[in-house]
A = this chain, B = another copy of it.
């Protein structure tokens, strides 16, 4: 556990306070599923700080994350009803994105992914959220639907103090280079290897 003792002090001219409060770009990559789970764990912590949390799922099937969605939206509800923690929004590409309300328009996955990214760019410009979870966002970049360099430039130039967590396998080298914190979730052992099937509460 890091105890706040940096290995070196950078010559960036920032005070410790400024440096401590720098907005972070975080990437969870690797083959294991802890990537998204750890991102939602970060959202838990942000909620407790009163942060405005925005989750954006870049996958067609959202079936696997219903537990985290229900729990985080329940926490967002506590913000609304009792002023606890921060507000939470959860948007899914697979249902035509929550903000558009155009159901069933997601036949074209590439167009839907790009539309999601444009909305995120607008929100970053407007400083809508304190923490963005861009779940499985590496895939539209990997498939060439969204330009990695544009993502990197948008993140680099974002105003204010907005943290961004991106999850998914095969994160692009340019994204890893631009990120502040990159964790790889590596498989040592998985029950599927031994013929275990996915189970409720653990896998989704």
| Contact surface of A with B, Cβ cutoff 8 Å | 1-2, 4, 6-10, 12, 16, 19-22, 24, 26-30, 32-34, 36-42, 44-49, 51, 59, 64, 66-68, 70-72, 74-75, 78, 84-85, 130-131, 163, 176, 179-204
Contact = CB atoms under 8 A, between A and B. Distances in A.
A194 B8 contact: yes
Contacts of A182: 187-190
Contacts of A46: 67, 201
Nearest to A191: B180
A2 B203 contact: yes
A197 B20 contact: yes
B78 A196 contact: no
Given A176-B189, A202-B42, A6 B197 contact: yes
A176 B188 contact: yes
A196 B19 contact: yes
Copies in the complex: 2
A198 to B, nearest CB: 5
Nearest to A44: B71
A131 B9 CA distance: 41
A42 B68 CA distance: 8
A185 B34 contact: yes
A183 B186 contact: yes
Contact of A8 (B7, B185, B195): B195
Contacts of A179: 189
Given A38-B185, A180-B189, A184-B188, 17 more contacts: A4-B197, A6-B195, A7-B193, A8-B194, A19-B195, A19-B197, A26-B202, A44-B71, A45-B71, A45-B202, A46-B67, A48-B67, A74-B78, A130-B201, A176-B188, A179-B189, A180-B194
